[in-house]
Amino acid sequence: MNSKSLFFTLAVAVATFGCGDPKGKATADSVAGSKPKASASAAPSAAVVRKLSPFAEAALKELDTTKLNDREKEELKLQLGEAMSPCPNVPVPLGQCLAEKRDCKLCAPAGAMLTRAVRGGLPSTEAVSLVGQRFDAKNVKELTLGNAPTKGPADAPVTIVEWADFECPFCAAMVPVIDLITERFPGQVRVAYKTYALPGHPHAPEAAYAALAAYRQGKFWEMQRMLFDNQKALEKKDLFKYAREVDVDFTQFKKDFDDAELRQSLKDDITYGDSVGVEGTPTLFINGRLVPMEKLAPFYEEFEEWVKLEIVLAGKTPAEGTEKYHSMKKMLMAAAEEEGKTPPPDASASASAGASAAPSAAPSSAASAAASASPK
Protein backbone atom coordinates (compact mmCIF):
# COMPACT_ATOMS: atom_id res chain seq x y z
CA MET A 1 0.00 0.00 0.00
CA ASN A 2 1.51 3.36 -0.96
CA SER A 3 1.80 6.34 1.39
CA LYS A 4 -1.11 8.12 -0.24
CA SER A 5 -3.48 5.21 0.31
CA LEU A 6 -2.14 4.58 3.80
CA PHE A 7 -2.79 8.11 4.98
CA PHE A 8 -6.31 8.16 3.52
CA THR A 9 -7.04 4.74 5.03
CA LEU A 10 -6.02 6.10 8.42
CA ALA A 11 -8.40 9.03 8.02
CA VAL A 12 -11.23 6.55 7.39
CA ALA A 13 -10.01 4.38 10.26
CA VAL A 14 -10.35 7.03 12.93
CA ALA A 15 -13.85 7.80 11.70
CA THR A 16 -14.98 4.16 11.78
CA PHE A 17 -13.15 2.83 14.87
CA GLY A 18 -10.53 0.95 12.85
CA CYS A 19 -10.82 -2.84 12.71
CA GLY A 20 -13.22 -4.42 15.14
CA ASP A 21 -15.90 -1.80 15.79
CA PRO A 22 -17.03 -2.38 19.40
CA LYS A 23 -20.50 -1.14 18.48
CA GLY A 24 -20.96 -4.34 16.50
CA LYS A 25 -20.91 -6.52 19.62
CA ALA A 26 -24.04 -8.39 20.57
CA THR A 27 -25.71 -7.11 23.72
CA ALA A 28 -27.46 -9.06 26.45
CA ASP A 29 -30.79 -7.74 25.20
CA SER A 30 -30.13 -8.87 21.64
CA VAL A 31 -29.24 -12.46 22.48
CA ALA A 32 -31.10 -13.29 25.68
CA GLY A 33 -34.66 -12.58 24.64
CA SER A 34 -35.03 -9.78 27.15
CA LYS A 35 -38.17 -7.72 27.32
CA PRO A 36 -38.22 -4.95 24.72
CA LYS A 37 -37.51 -1.51 26.02
CA ALA A 38 -40.15 1.19 25.81
CA SER A 39 -39.89 3.28 22.67
CA ALA A 40 -38.45 6.75 22.83
CA SER A 41 -41.85 8.25 22.03
CA ALA A 42 -43.35 6.68 25.14
CA ALA A 43 -41.31 8.83 27.47
CA PRO A 44 -39.93 11.94 25.82
CA SER A 45 -36.95 13.38 27.63
CA ALA A 46 -36.87 16.99 28.69
CA ALA A 47 -34.68 19.32 26.66
CA VAL A 48 -31.34 20.05 28.28
CA VAL A 49 -30.92 23.72 29.12
CA ARG A 50 -27.29 24.81 28.84
CA LYS A 51 -26.24 27.72 31.00
CA LEU A 52 -23.47 30.19 30.31
CA SER A 53 -20.83 30.32 33.05
CA PRO A 54 -20.17 33.74 34.63
CA PHE A 55 -16.48 33.05 33.97
CA ALA A 56 -16.98 32.39 30.25
CA GLU A 57 -15.97 35.79 28.89
CA ALA A 58 -12.85 36.05 31.05
CA ALA A 59 -11.86 32.46 30.23
CA LEU A 60 -12.19 33.11 26.51
CA LYS A 61 -9.59 35.86 26.77
CA GLU A 62 -7.06 33.30 28.03
CA LEU A 63 -7.39 31.20 24.87
CA ASP A 64 -6.42 31.68 21.24
CA THR A 65 -9.79 31.90 19.51
CA THR A 66 -8.63 33.68 16.37
CA LYS A 67 -9.69 30.75 14.17
CA LEU A 68 -13.20 30.54 15.65
CA ASN A 69 -16.23 32.26 14.19
CA ASP A 70 -18.83 33.92 16.44
CA ARG A 71 -21.00 30.82 16.69
CA GLU A 72 -18.02 28.67 17.66
CA LYS A 73 -16.96 31.19 20.31
CA GLU A 74 -20.41 31.03 21.89
CA GLU A 75 -20.26 27.23 21.84
CA LEU A 76 -16.82 27.28 23.44
CA LYS A 77 -18.06 29.51 26.24
CA LEU A 78 -20.77 26.96 27.04
CA GLN A 79 -18.33 24.06 27.00
CA LEU A 80 -15.88 25.87 29.28
CA GLY A 81 -18.62 25.78 31.89
CA GLU A 82 -19.37 22.10 31.27
CA ALA A 83 -15.82 20.71 31.32
CA MET A 84 -14.08 20.39 34.66
CA SER A 85 -10.55 21.45 35.52
CA PRO A 86 -8.20 18.47 35.01
CA CYS A 87 -6.32 19.17 38.27
CA PRO A 88 -7.74 17.23 41.27
CA ASN A 89 -6.75 20.07 43.61
CA VAL A 90 -8.75 22.58 41.53
CA PRO A 91 -12.30 21.11 41.53
CA VAL A 92 -13.93 23.88 39.49
CA PRO A 93 -15.16 24.21 35.90
CA LEU A 94 -12.42 24.66 33.31
CA GLY A 95 -13.62 28.16 32.49
CA GLN A 96 -13.29 29.26 36.10
CA CYS A 97 -9.83 27.72 36.33
CA LEU A 98 -8.72 29.74 33.30
CA ALA A 99 -10.46 32.98 34.26
CA GLU A 100 -9.03 32.99 37.79
CA LYS A 101 -5.63 31.69 36.68
CA ARG A 102 -5.80 28.89 39.23
CA ASP A 103 -2.72 26.86 40.11
CA CYS A 104 -3.30 24.13 37.53
CA LYS A 105 -0.73 23.66 34.77
CA LEU A 106 -3.18 21.54 32.78
CA CYS A 107 -6.00 24.07 32.46
CA ALA A 108 -4.37 26.02 29.62
CA PRO A 109 -3.63 22.96 27.44
CA ALA A 110 -7.09 21.54 28.25
CA GLY A 111 -8.67 24.81 27.17
CA ALA A 112 -6.59 24.81 24.00
CA MET A 113 -7.69 21.25 23.18
CA LEU A 114 -11.34 22.16 23.79
CA THR A 115 -10.94 25.16 21.48
CA ARG A 116 -9.57 22.96 18.70
CA ALA A 117 -12.36 20.41 19.25
CA VAL A 118 -14.99 23.12 18.86
CA ARG A 119 -13.23 24.38 15.72
CA GLY A 120 -13.23 20.82 14.38
CA GLY A 121 -16.98 20.46 14.92
CA LEU A 122 -16.85 17.74 17.59
CA PRO A 123 -20.24 17.50 19.37
CA SER A 124 -20.25 19.21 22.77
CA THR A 125 -20.59 16.06 24.88
CA GLU A 126 -17.77 14.37 22.98
CA ALA A 127 -15.54 17.45 23.19
CA VAL A 128 -15.98 17.68 26.96
CA SER A 129 -15.43 13.92 27.24
CA LEU A 130 -12.26 14.20 25.15
CA VAL A 131 -10.76 16.69 27.61
CA GLY A 132 -11.45 14.25 30.45
CA GLN A 133 -9.95 11.33 28.55
CA ARG A 134 -6.86 13.37 27.75
CA PHE A 135 -6.19 14.99 31.12
CA ASP A 136 -7.98 13.17 33.97
CA ALA A 137 -5.35 11.31 36.03
CA LYS A 138 -7.82 8.47 36.66
CA ASN A 139 -7.55 7.49 32.99
CA VAL A 140 -3.85 6.60 33.17
CA LYS A 141 -3.07 2.88 33.32
CA GLU A 142 0.20 1.33 34.46
CA LEU A 143 0.97 -0.79 31.41
CA THR A 144 3.44 -3.66 31.56
CA LEU A 145 5.62 -3.94 28.46
CA GLY A 146 6.95 -7.38 29.35
CA ASN A 147 8.96 -8.79 26.46
CA ALA A 148 7.24 -6.64 23.83
CA PRO A 149 9.34 -5.47 20.87
CA THR A 150 10.38 -1.86 21.41
CA LYS A 151 12.29 0.85 19.59
CA GLY A 152 13.52 4.14 20.98
CA PRO A 153 15.33 4.98 24.24
CA ALA A 154 14.17 3.14 27.36
CA ASP A 155 14.26 6.44 29.26
CA ALA A 156 12.27 8.40 26.67
CA PRO A 157 9.71 10.78 28.23
CA VAL A 158 6.99 9.34 25.99
CA THR A 159 6.12 5.67 25.55
CA ILE A 160 3.57 4.69 22.92
CA VAL A 161 2.13 1.19 23.26
CA GLU A 162 0.26 -0.09 20.22
CA TRP A 163 -1.93 -3.18 19.93
CA ALA A 164 -2.13 -4.10 16.25
CA ASP A 165 -3.32 -6.87 13.94
CA PHE A 166 -1.18 -7.68 10.88
CA GLU A 167 -4.25 -8.20 8.69
CA CYS A 168 -5.89 -4.90 9.69
CA PRO A 169 -5.49 -2.22 6.99
CA PHE A 170 -5.82 0.55 9.55
CA CYS A 171 -2.85 -0.87 11.47
CA ALA A 172 -0.85 -0.71 8.25
CA ALA A 173 -1.93 2.92 7.90
CA MET A 174 -0.58 3.65 11.38
CA VAL A 175 2.97 2.61 10.43
CA PRO A 176 3.95 5.88 8.68
CA VAL A 177 2.28 7.85 11.48
CA ILE A 178 4.43 6.17 14.11
CA ASP A 179 7.47 6.67 11.89
CA LEU A 180 6.58 10.34 11.58
CA ILE A 181 6.16 10.95 15.31
CA THR A 182 9.50 9.33 16.14
CA GLU A 183 11.20 11.58 13.59
CA ARG A 184 9.32 14.60 14.92
CA PHE A 185 10.69 14.08 18.43
CA PRO A 186 13.97 12.17 17.90
CA GLY A 187 15.21 10.41 21.02
CA GLN A 188 12.10 11.31 23.00
CA VAL A 189 9.63 8.61 21.95
CA ARG A 190 9.72 4.90 22.70
CA VAL A 191 7.36 2.58 20.82
CA ALA A 192 6.24 -0.83 22.08
CA TYR A 193 4.27 -3.29 19.94
CA LYS A 194 1.68 -5.73 21.28
CA THR A 195 0.27 -8.36 18.92
CA TYR A 196 -3.47 -8.85 18.42
CA ALA A 197 -5.59 -11.05 16.15
CA LEU A 198 -9.21 -10.28 15.38
CA PRO A 199 -11.58 -13.20 14.66
CA GLY A 200 -12.39 -11.81 11.21
CA HIS A 201 -8.72 -11.92 10.18
CA PRO A 202 -7.78 -15.58 9.64
CA HIS A 203 -4.17 -14.85 8.66
CA ALA A 204 -3.43 -12.56 11.60
CA PRO A 205 -2.32 -15.22 14.13
CA GLU A 206 0.30 -16.83 11.88
CA ALA A 207 1.48 -13.41 10.72
CA ALA A 208 2.00 -12.54 14.40
CA TYR A 209 3.93 -15.80 14.91
CA ALA A 210 6.17 -14.87 11.99
CA ALA A 211 6.88 -11.44 13.47
CA LEU A 212 7.59 -12.88 16.90
CA ALA A 213 9.85 -15.57 15.43
CA ALA A 214 11.81 -12.86 13.62
CA TYR A 215 11.92 -10.91 16.89
CA ARG A 216 13.85 -13.76 18.49
CA GLN A 217 16.57 -13.03 15.93
CA GLY A 218 16.42 -9.25 16.33
CA LYS A 219 14.42 -8.68 13.16
CA PHE A 220 10.94 -7.82 14.47
CA TRP A 221 10.65 -4.37 12.93
CA GLU A 222 11.94 -5.55 9.57
CA MET A 223 9.34 -8.33 9.55
CA GLN A 224 6.62 -6.00 10.81
CA ARG A 225 7.19 -3.70 7.85
CA MET A 226 7.33 -6.65 5.44
CA LEU A 227 3.98 -8.00 6.69
CA PHE A 228 2.18 -4.67 6.53
CA ASP A 229 3.58 -4.00 3.07
CA ASN A 230 2.21 -7.34 1.88
CA GLN A 231 -1.14 -7.69 3.64
CA LYS A 232 -2.75 -9.36 0.64
CA ALA A 233 -0.27 -12.23 0.82
CA LEU A 234 -0.09 -13.70 4.32
CA GLU A 235 -0.31 -17.43 3.66
CA LYS A 236 2.25 -19.58 5.45
CA LYS A 237 4.36 -19.92 2.29
CA ASP A 238 4.41 -16.11 2.03
CA LEU A 239 5.51 -15.74 5.63
CA PHE A 240 8.39 -18.14 5.06
CA LYS A 241 9.39 -16.17 1.95
CA TYR A 242 9.46 -12.93 3.97
CA ALA A 243 11.60 -14.61 6.61
CA ARG A 244 14.24 -15.32 3.99
CA GLU A 245 13.97 -11.76 2.69
CA VAL A 246 14.62 -10.20 6.10
CA ASP A 247 17.65 -12.50 6.37
CA VAL A 248 17.01 -14.59 9.46
CA ASP A 249 18.32 -18.09 10.12
CA PHE A 250 15.49 -19.91 8.38
CA THR A 251 15.88 -23.22 10.21
CA GLN A 252 15.64 -21.46 13.55
CA PHE A 253 12.79 -19.31 12.28
CA LYS A 254 10.67 -22.37 11.39
CA LYS A 255 11.37 -23.90 14.79
CA ASP A 256 10.36 -20.70 16.59
CA PHE A 257 7.30 -20.26 14.37
CA ASP A 258 5.89 -23.53 15.73
CA ASP A 259 7.06 -22.98 19.30
CA ALA A 260 4.25 -23.26 21.86
CA GLU A 261 5.75 -20.60 24.11
CA LEU A 262 5.93 -18.13 21.25
CA ARG A 263 2.32 -18.81 20.29
CA GLN A 264 1.27 -18.32 23.89
CA SER A 265 2.75 -14.83 23.81
CA LEU A 266 0.13 -13.81 21.21
CA LYS A 267 -2.64 -15.12 23.45
CA ASP A 268 -1.11 -13.27 26.38
CA ASP A 269 -0.99 -10.01 24.41
CA ILE A 270 -4.65 -10.41 23.47
CA THR A 271 -5.74 -11.23 27.01
CA TYR A 272 -3.76 -8.32 28.42
CA GLY A 273 -5.09 -5.98 25.77
CA ASP A 274 -8.67 -6.96 26.54
CA SER A 275 -8.03 -6.31 30.24
CA VAL A 276 -6.92 -2.71 29.60
CA GLY A 277 -9.70 -1.82 27.18
CA VAL A 278 -8.55 -2.86 23.71
CA GLU A 279 -11.68 -3.38 21.58
CA GLY A 280 -10.28 -3.08 18.07
CA THR A 281 -7.10 -2.26 16.21
CA PRO A 282 -5.07 -0.20 16.11
CA THR A 283 -5.29 0.80 19.77
CA LEU A 284 -2.74 3.27 21.12
CA PHE A 285 -1.76 4.25 24.63
CA ILE A 286 0.48 7.26 25.24
CA ASN A 287 2.15 7.13 28.64
CA GLY A 288 -0.57 4.77 29.82
CA ARG A 289 -3.49 6.83 28.52
CA LEU A 290 -5.82 5.39 25.88
CA VAL A 291 -5.90 7.59 22.79
CA PRO A 292 -9.50 8.15 21.55
CA MET A 293 -8.44 8.33 17.90
CA GLU A 294 -11.95 8.80 16.52
CA LYS A 295 -12.21 12.10 18.43
CA LEU A 296 -8.92 13.60 17.25
CA ALA A 297 -9.39 15.85 14.23
CA PRO A 298 -7.29 16.49 12.31
CA PHE A 299 -5.77 13.29 13.61
CA TYR A 300 -2.04 13.68 13.04
CA GLU A 301 -1.87 17.29 14.26
CA GLU A 302 -3.69 16.38 17.49
CA PHE A 303 -1.57 13.25 17.91
CA GLU A 304 1.63 15.30 17.60
CA GLU A 305 0.30 17.93 20.01
CA TRP A 306 -0.53 15.18 22.52
CA VAL A 307 3.02 13.78 22.39
CA LYS A 308 4.58 17.24 22.54
CA LEU A 309 2.65 18.13 25.71
CA GLU A 310 3.72 14.85 27.36
CA ILE A 311 7.34 15.82 26.74
CA VAL A 312 6.77 19.26 28.25
CA LEU A 313 4.97 17.83 31.28
CA ALA A 314 7.97 15.54 31.83
CA GLY A 315 10.11 18.67 32.20
CA LYS A 316 11.84 18.25 28.84
CA THR A 317 12.17 20.56 25.86
CA PRO A 318 10.60 19.04 22.73
CA ALA A 319 13.30 18.17 20.21
CA GLU A 320 13.36 19.69 16.76
CA GLY A 321 12.05 17.49 13.98
CA THR A 322 14.61 15.81 11.74
CA GLU A 323 14.99 16.55 8.04
CA LYS A 324 13.37 13.20 7.40
CA TYR A 325 10.35 14.31 9.45
CA HIS A 326 9.84 17.42 7.35
CA SER A 327 10.15 15.55 4.06
CA MET A 328 7.87 12.72 5.25
CA LYS A 329 5.19 15.08 6.54
CA LYS A 330 5.24 17.14 3.37
CA MET A 331 4.85 13.99 1.27
CA LEU A 332 2.07 12.50 3.42
CA MET A 333 0.11 15.71 3.71
CA ALA A 334 0.33 16.29 -0.03
CA ALA A 335 -0.86 12.73 -0.62
CA ALA A 336 -3.75 13.19 1.82
CA GLU A 337 -4.73 16.47 0.15
CA GLU A 338 -4.65 14.87 -3.29
CA GLU A 339 -6.69 11.91 -2.06
CA GLY A 340 -9.17 14.33 -0.52
CA LYS A 341 -10.01 15.72 -3.95
CA THR A 342 -11.89 12.48 -4.60
CA PRO A 343 -15.22 12.57 -2.74
CA PRO A 344 -15.08 9.91 0.00
CA PRO A 345 -17.98 7.50 0.50
CA ASP A 346 -20.61 8.73 2.92
CA ALA A 347 -19.98 8.03 6.60
CA SER A 348 -22.67 5.38 6.92
CA ALA A 349 -21.27 3.46 3.97
CA SER A 350 -17.76 3.64 5.41
CA ALA A 351 -18.89 2.43 8.80
CA SER A 352 -20.87 -0.39 7.29
CA ALA A 353 -18.00 -1.46 5.07
CA GLY A 354 -15.58 -1.35 7.96
CA ALA A 355 -17.84 -3.43 10.17
CA SER A 356 -18.39 -6.07 7.49
CA ALA A 357 -14.73 -6.24 6.58
CA ALA A 358 -13.64 -6.71 10.17
CA PRO A 359 -16.23 -8.20 12.54
CA SER A 360 -16.18 -6.82 16.06
CA ALA A 361 -13.67 -8.30 18.43
CA ALA A 362 -15.19 -9.59 21.61
CA PRO A 363 -12.31 -10.34 24.01
CA SER A 364 -12.87 -14.08 24.10
CA SER A 365 -13.30 -14.20 20.32
CA ALA A 366 -9.89 -12.68 19.64
CA ALA A 367 -8.22 -15.11 22.02
CA SER A 368 -10.07 -17.97 20.34
CA ALA A 369 -8.82 -16.81 16.95
CA ALA A 370 -5.26 -17.12 18.13
CA ALA A 371 -5.88 -20.43 19.83
CA SER A 372 -7.45 -22.00 16.73
CA ALA A 373 -4.56 -21.24 14.39
CA SER A 374 -2.68 -24.53 14.18
CA PRO A 375 0.50 -25.25 12.21
CA LYS A 376 -0.06 -26.32 8.61
Of all residues in the chain, the percent with pLDDT exceeding 70 is 78
So where are the chain's domains? 65-139, 150-295+310-337
Is the predicted pLDDT of residue 373 greater than 60, yes or no?
A: no
Average pLDDT along the chain? 84
Per-residue pLDDT reduced to its tens digit, 38-73: 334 444 455 677 889 899 999 999 999 999 999 999
* CB-CB contact of 188 with 318 (8 Å): yes
Per-residue pLDDT reduced to its tens digit, 249-306: 999 999 999 999 999 999 999 999 999 999 999 999 999 999 999 999 889 999 999 9
Confidence of residue 350 (pLDDT cuts 50, 70, 90): very low
Per-residue pLDDT reduced to its tens digit, 230-241: 999 999 999 999
Strands 189-195 and 150-151: antiparallel
CA distance 354 to 86: 34
Per-residue pLDDT reduced to its tens digit, 95-152: 999 999 999 999 999 999 999 999 999 999 999 999 999 999 999 999 999 999 999 9
Residues 6+ positions from 331 with CB-CB distance below 8 Å: 3
Phi, psi values for residue 285, rounded to 5°: -120, 135
Is the predicted pLDDT of residue 365 greater than 70, yes or no?
A: no
Q: Report in angstroms the alpha-carbon separations of 11 from 20, 169, 189, 231, 350.
A: 16, 12, 23, 19, 11
Helix, strand, coil % in the chain, rounded to nearest 5: 55, 5, 40
The pTM of this model reads 0.82
What is the CATH number that goes with domain 150-295+310-337?
Answer: 3.40.30.10
